[in-house]
Amino acid sequence: MLKFLFGSLAILLLMNSCDKADKFTQFNLDYNTQVSIPATGLGGLATVILDSLMSNPTTTNAQQSFSGNGTAANLIEKVSLSQMTLTVTAPAGANLNFLKDLSIYIKGTNLAEIKIAEALNVADGLSTLDVPVLENNLKAYIQGEQFSLRTAVTIDGATSQQTDLNIYTKFFVDAKLLGV
């Protein structure tokens, strides 16, 4: 019976130390990307689908980020998108009332484009929207030097001028410690 207690205690201590070690190998990478939605001038009831609103490429600085967190690209186990927030930056006082649906895709050099977030039936009155993220392992996209986001939107209201948006992304990285 005493062996069982010591064995159980040893297993619990080992599991606890593994959880603490995981905390040192898990970190977030934050990026901001801009995209513009052109004026639509809809007559009220029409719906327009804009499918190719591309952001400029975002530089990942991944190697530097990995090194600063005590790991390297080859030790990354998984990268997932944990948060995406869309914020209207211009024109002043604008909101997302014109927006019905939104899908955001990521594209990397020599990597297939995949959908990473989607919001359907966006509520009126918002100038900031937390976009529900999809479960994907984005390791290859973040390990690369840069990525681009493509935004596809369904607009169900008129916009008299271009609307500029900031897309904030937070990626959760799970890696192994360098040298362990």
- Of residues 166 and 20, the one with the higher pLDDT is 166
At 180 the pLDDT is 55
- Of residues 149 and 4, the one with the higher pLDDT is 149
Could you tell me the pLDDT band of residue 17, with boundaries at 50, 70 and 90? very low
CA–CA–CA angle 86, 90, 91 (5° rounding):
135
The secondary structure element, H or E, covering residue 101 is strand 99-108
Q: Which of 51-55, 112-116, 143-147 has the lowest mean pLDDT?
A: 51-55
Write down the pTM of the prediction: 0.82
Burial 150-175 (b: 16+ CB within 10 A, else e): bbbbbbbbebeeebebebbbebebbb
> What whole-number distance in Å separates Cα of residue 122 and Cα of residue 43?
20
73 CB-contact burial (10 Å; exposed 0-12 / middle 13-18 / buried 19+): middle
Mean pLDDT, range 23-50, rounded to an integer: 78
Residue 45 has pLDDT above 50, yes or no: no
Residue 152 has pLDDT above 80, yes or no: yes
What DSSP string describes 37-72?
E------SS--EEEEEEEPPPEE--HHHHHHHTT--
> What whole-number distance in Å separates Cα of residue 91 and Cα of residue 163?
6
Q: Which of 1-5, 35-39, 92-96, 165-169 has the lowest mean pLDDT?
A: 1-5
Q: Could you give the domains of the chain?
A: 27-175 (2.60.120)
pLDDT tens by residue, 64-73 = 999 898 899 9
Rounded mean pLDDT of the chain?
Answer: 85
Mean pLDDT, range 45-68, rounded to an integer: 80
Chain-centroid distance, C-alpha 22: 21
Residue 10 has pLDDT above 80, yes or no: no
For the chain, percent of residues with pLDDT exceeding 90: 58
At 25 the pLDDT is 82
Mean pLDDT, range 147-175, rounded to an integer: 91
At 41 the pLDDT is 72
